[in-house]
Structures are given as structure tokens and as C-alpha cells.
Structure 1
Amino acid sequence: MRNRDNERGGVNDAPAKKGRSPRESAKAARDSIDGPVRRCILSGEHDARPHLIRLALAPDGRVLPDVRAKAPGRGGWIGVTRGELETAIAKGKLKGALARAFKTGEFSIPDDLPDLIASALERNALDRLGLESRSGMLLTGSDKIATAARSGQLHALYHASDAGDDGCRKLAQAWRVGSDREGSDLKGLALPATRPILSMALGRENVVHIGLTDRNAAKRVSEALDRWLHFIGPDPVATPCETASQGASASDITGDRTAVTVHEDFE
């Protein structure tokens, strides 16, 4: 699993303090994470629940993604990339880990499980954008976003995969000016979704750029998008907008972290 500190204030990967046992170091890392914590059944690493993917058993015994963690019964949590999952499936590691999580070996892993997970994460991320759009927390249109950016009201910036370089650069510059961060690399992030896909998700016409003006809404969108993008890996589709590069700062969310409630069970 990757280091998420710079993205969402996730796991603290700082070296263990001298004299700490491995168990104490692991607990310290868990205690630095916001919200309920779960353990990835494949890597053994801990992360906040919204950053992981829950796998659950369908009534017919198939293992299916439960990205909103609503399905009843026991589940297994994973935080690996698609490539890592495919390797774990091929080597039988996922089957063994799920057998321990489910407390049974009576289940089947669909051949297209990675595809099912990717599709579910994409749908969840697009649904989240749609919800924020309907709640009035989301802007579309270069002029509206630029105005919010220059006035310091912009908290996150995203672009369609087929957005033009010029529009992306202008909005990034407006955001840096409004945030008093000129000279920094603050910029938006090109999503692996075209204009028609984003337009359908938001129920608006010709969605090229997306801006979020509420900090909490930006955090919710960031979590949904990051989980999807982490799983499918970098640059899954051709993205002409220069902000598609890894490390693009789609969100400027910051804040102090609070203590967490640690639950290491699988449910």
C-alpha cells in the first residue's frame, strides 16, 4: 500500500522511535489515522476505513465488492492496487486471506473480480460528484470556477480527461493566486473520465472542469476519487490535460487529525 500522508492525512509512516517494539510502532501508526481503522487482508497494513475496499459474500457464494460497506455478514478489507490484487488472485493468496476473514472456504472468486471492483469504485466516485453537485457544493464552467478560485473559495479542482491544456493552466493559476500560493505546484487533477461521462454523472451539459467550494465536500470527493485512482493505478487512460500527472494537487484539504477508534475485526 502506498503512503497516503500527503494526500489525505493518512498513515504516519515516520520511522519508529528508538526503543519501540514493532507492536508499539504499529499501534502508533494506527493511532495517527483519522476514523475507524481496518487491516488489509493482503498486505497486513492498517488504514482508515474509507481508504479501503470491502469484499463481501453474495447469497450465491460469490465474492463481490461492497464499496459502501453496507452488506451484512463478515467481510475482508483490501487496500492494494489492481495489479497487486491480480497477482494475489493468481497465487491463491486472496483465497486464503478471504477464507480466514469469512471463517469459511465455501465461496468463489469471480474471474472478473478486478473489473467488478474498478467499476464499483468508478460508480461510487461519480455518484459522490453527483451528490455534491445536487447539494450546491460543486461548480462547473471555467468562469465560475475561476471566480471562486481567485476569491480564495476553491478547495478542489478536477478536469475531464479530454480537457484542453490551456483551460487547465488558467484555472490552476487562478487557484494559486487566490490561495496565495503563487510559484507552487498547486493545480487540478485530470480524472480518467471524459466530458460525456462527467456530464452524465452531474446531470449537466459539457462538464469539462469541476471545482468544489466547501472543504467537507472536497474531502468527501477526494476520498472517493483517491480510492478509485489508487486501485486502478496511474494514468489508466490517455489524458491530454497537463494536470493529469501523478502528484497533481487536486485538493488543498488540510487539518488536524484526531484520535481514532481502532477495530481490527473484518466486519
Structure 2
Amino acid sequence: MMTMMSRPERQSKRAQHAGTRTCAGCHERVPRDAVARELVHLVFVPSDADAGEMGVVVDLLGRGRRPGRGAWVHARRGCLERAAAKGLSRAAKTRVVADAAVLAEQIVAQADRRTTSLLASAQRAGKLAVGATAVSEARGAVMLLVAVDAAAAAKLPAVVAAHRDGRAVAWGDKQRLGEALGRNEVAIAAILDDGLAEAIHHAIGLAQSFHGGPSHGGACRGGSVDD
């Protein structure tokens, strides 16, 4: 026999869940202060195929501010696949046409664009040291970005120390890192601000969650940088 909750019990349950977001894949509730770190926002959009169906797009760059109803999902392939299969339709209370692989591609692309944007912000704010000499002489480097094809830079004492402390991340090749910083090629850069470093690390990690290639980021290890 089903047990009915009393009104105070229902109010208590609502209060307990207030300020949380639920993953549409695994249904785990995430506290609001952890949402930005753990979840990706998806927004429902009208589907061209059928007026009775909805589509869905990633809203990583909007950080949850894109208009329209939406859902949240963990930055995990399994959660994204379960959400695409059933969870998003349940959240929207209508059929949602979703392809987990397409959504994963959108997450990677938007995370990479966010990384590039944050690097530009760090550069404008004077919170970035670029090149082996500048990085070696920098004081207060919070995180180092090393191009995956920068073998010499990976052997610098500053990089070795940062890797040992978990502060070195591989991202892009020299050309890609250079393009992000308005230069031809860049082998290494240091982030000198805690907040920017945390945001960049999160964006790179988010892309890495859905892409196995080192060009999309990852811990900087001796074997991950090519000669």
C-alpha cells in the first residue's frame, strides 16, 4: 500500500531539494554551489521534424542563462547517453529528439571556445606569462599550459615542478596555443590568477571528459608530449 506524505513532510522534502539541480541521466541531485563544476546545461528547442517534439542544444557558454526550458546533466558520457535516451524526454514532459554523440561534440566545441576566451581574458588582464623564459621567471604561476608537441618545454624545471604538483596541463599543439594568444606558435604559458586558472582547468577537463585526444587537454606527462 502506498504511503501518503503529510503536508509538512512534503514541504520539508521540497525545502531539502531547494537549490539543487538533478542530472537528467543518473538523477543524482547536485547542490547549487557545485552545479557549475559538475553539470552541463541543456536547453530544449523546437524541433523542425515535428511540432510535437523538442530538440536540445548545449548551453555551456551561456552558463544556464539561455532562454527556454532545459535540463542538467553530469559531464559524463554515461549520463549524457542515458539523458538522451529517456531522461530529457522525462524532464521536458514530451518527446525530446537527442543524439548523445552530437551533444558531446557540442560540449567539446563550447568548452574549447571557453578555454580560448579565458586565455584571452588572462592575457588582457596581465595574468599570463608566455614562452619558456617568461614562464621560468614568473612568480605566482598557478597553472601551466603546455602544447602537446612542445617536448623541450615539457622538460623545463618549472614544468617538471608544476607537473609534480598537479599544476601542468597539456592543451593543443603549439600552433593552436599560439592562435589562442594571437601569436604564430606558443609552446608554454603560465596562468597567474587563481580564478582564471580554475576556470580554464575546468573547461579543459570538460572537453577531455568527452574527447580522448591529448589535443583537447589532459595532465601534462612526459609521455604525452611528442618530439
TM-score normalised per structure 2: 0.71
Deviation at 1:238, TM superposition (A): 10
In the alignment, is the contact (CA less than 8 A) between 1:139 and 1:213 conserved in 2?
A: yes
The structure that is helix-richer by fraction is 2
- CA pair 232-43 structure 1, distance change in 2 beyond 3 A: farther
> 1:164-215: CA deviations, max 9, x gaps?
1554442224659xxxxxxx54451112x11222222222231111211122
Deviation at 1:42, TM superposition (A): 0.9
Q: Note the residue ranges of structure 2 that are not aligned, 5 or more in a row.
A: 1-12, 48-53
**1:188 corresponding residue in structure 2:** 168
Q: What amino acid is aligned across from residue 63 of structure 1 in structure 2?
A: V
Instruction: State yes or no: 1:197 paired with 2:176.
Output: yes
In the alignment, is the contact (CA less than 8 A) between 1:168 and 1:242 conserved in 2?
A: no
SS at match of 1:62: strand
In the alignment, is the contact (CA less than 8 A) between 1:187 and 1:243 conserved in 2?
A: no
**1:43 corresponding residue in structure 2:** 26
* Root mean square deviation of aligned Cα: 3.4
- Structure 1 runs of 4+ with >3 Å offset: 165-169, 173-176, 184-187, 233-239
In the alignment, is the contact (CA less than 8 A) between 1:55 and 1:64 conserved in 2?
A: yes
- CA pair 242-130 structure 1, distance change in 2 beyond 3 A: same
**1:209 corresponding residue in structure 2:** 188
TM-score normalised per structure 1: 0.62
SS at match of 1:122: helix
Q: Note the residue ranges of structure 1 that are not aligned, 5 or more in a row.
A: 1-23, 31-35, 177-183, 246-267
Query: Aligned partners of 1:114 and 1:85: how far apart in 2?
Result: 11
* Greater CA drift, 68-77 or 228-237: 228-237
- CA pair 187-54 structure 1, distance change in 2 beyond 3 A: closer
Query: Aligned partners of 1:37 and 1:210: how far apart in 2?
Result: 37
In the alignment, is the contact (CA less than 8 A) between 2:148 and 2:214 conserved in 1?
A: no
Higher relative contact order (CA 8 A, sep 6+): 1
**1:160 corresponding residue in structure 2:** 147
In the alignment, is the contact (CA less than 8 A) between 1:157 and 1:188 conserved in 2?
A: yes
The structure that is strand-richer by fraction is 2
**1:117 corresponding residue in structure 2:** 107
Query: Aligned partners of 1:56 and 1:80: how far apart in 2?
Result: 15
- What is the percentage of aligned positions where both structures have the same residue? 25
How many residue pairs align between the two structures? 198
Q: 2:60 aligns with which of 67, 73, 86?
A: 67
Rg larger for: 2
Q: What amino acid is aligned across from residue 149 of structure 2 in structure 1?
A: D
